[in-house]
Copies of this chain bind each other. A is one copy, B any other.
Amino acid sequence: MTSVWVKRKSAKKGRSPGALIHVGDVHSQVPRITCSIYEGFLTSRPLDDKSVLWLSVEGLHEVDIIRRVGTIFGINDLVLEDIADTGHRPKVEEFPDYAFLIVRALDIDPTTGRLSPEQVSLILGKNFLITFRERQTPLFQPIQQRLALERSRIRVSGADYLAYSLIDVIVDNYFEVLEKIADKVEVIEDVVVKGPSRSTLESIYQLKTDLLFLRKSVWPMREIANRMINGDIPFVRDTTKPYLRDVLDHTIHAVDTVETYRDIVSGMLDIYLSAVSNRLNETMKILTIIATIFIPLTFLCGWYGMNFKYMPELDWRYGYPMVIFIAVTSAVAMLIAFRRKKWL
């Protein structure tokens, strides 16, 4: 799992900057390109000043597509390099003709139950938005559906509002991920308090690394939203800013929640460790009770098992009843002592 932290960049070492090399794990699918143009209504007319173009590229391993798109829209080489090199830190960069955003969409992989990150790159121009994704999941489907609706605000609101909508979907997804993590936390919480097993530890460790990754992904979103609001990017209009402020608000909430869960999970580890100690204690108590009761009795038996010729007790008439009495008394005394210590 931890390999997601560092994508293999060795291939790029020593290359001149701007060299286009795909760094990522997803290679299998055929890239899919979809293009929507609208100016209040969806259209296929050539792009003019009022219309908005959304070009969506899904699948990055064929870097040639990235290069061609880059040439058509006049995108800087370093930007194209960052698009191909997934595993980048979320960030925002301004250029004279466009703004470049990297954000990270997150999902829980249903098979492994672990976090599955995806880098989404956005190039936001005056009246166009280009998105690059690694996968072909239905992440942006709700947006496409709203775009298909006739009177949706999205259609009449420009490329910046479209970018906001996409980012909003991604941030909303964080909460879905957090809910799934909340479910896990509650399950583990129960297990830990009732009686943890070895696999509990692994689950806690996985939660911990997932939350670490979550934080690493969500944290830079604050800066991105902040810079979009504070007017660094000319293509973001003032009418879109209240919506971005809402996104910032949600991002802060997400960061906050992640931090809280991290504290909770590390608290659970303490509980787990002390539950293990408790169990050790219980085991030891049983052993000690057994040993403390029987070892003296066994000694007693051994004593009268000795074969000395001259051992007067062995010939006594009431030797055996005496031994029975001693044994019972000693055992009862022990049991009382343990009850006083609250061991029984």
Contact = CB atoms under 8 A, between A and B. Distances in A.
A135 B337 CA distance: 50
Interface in A197-234: 198, 201-202, 205, 208-209, 212-213, 216
A194 to B, nearest CB: 10
A13 interface: yes
A276 B143 CA distance: 51
A303 B307 CA distance: 9
A27 interface: no
A55 interface: no
A45 interface: no
Contacts of A72: none
Interface in A287-335: 287-288, 290-292, 294-311, 313-317, 319-320, 323
A189 B264 contact: no
A307 B306 contact: yes
Contacts of A185: 2
A249 B89 contact: yes
Contact of A287 (B145, B153, B284): B284
A281 B288 CA distance: 12
Contacts of A317: 310
Interface string A176-200: 1011001001100100010100100
Given A277-B273, A286-B288, A317-B310, A3 B186 contact: yes
Nearest to A302: B301
A320 B315 contact: no
Interface string A232-260: 00000000001101100100110011001
A302 B309 contact: no
Interface of A: 2-3, 5-6, 8-10, 12-17, 76, 78, 88-89, 91, 93, 141-143, 145-146, 152-154, 168-169, 172-173, 175-176, 178-179, 182, 185-186, 189, 193, 195, 198, 201-202, 205, 208-209, 212-213, 216, 242-243, 245-246, 249, 252-253, 256-257, 260-261, 263-264, 267-281, 283-288, 290-292, 294-311, 313-317, 319-320, 323, 342
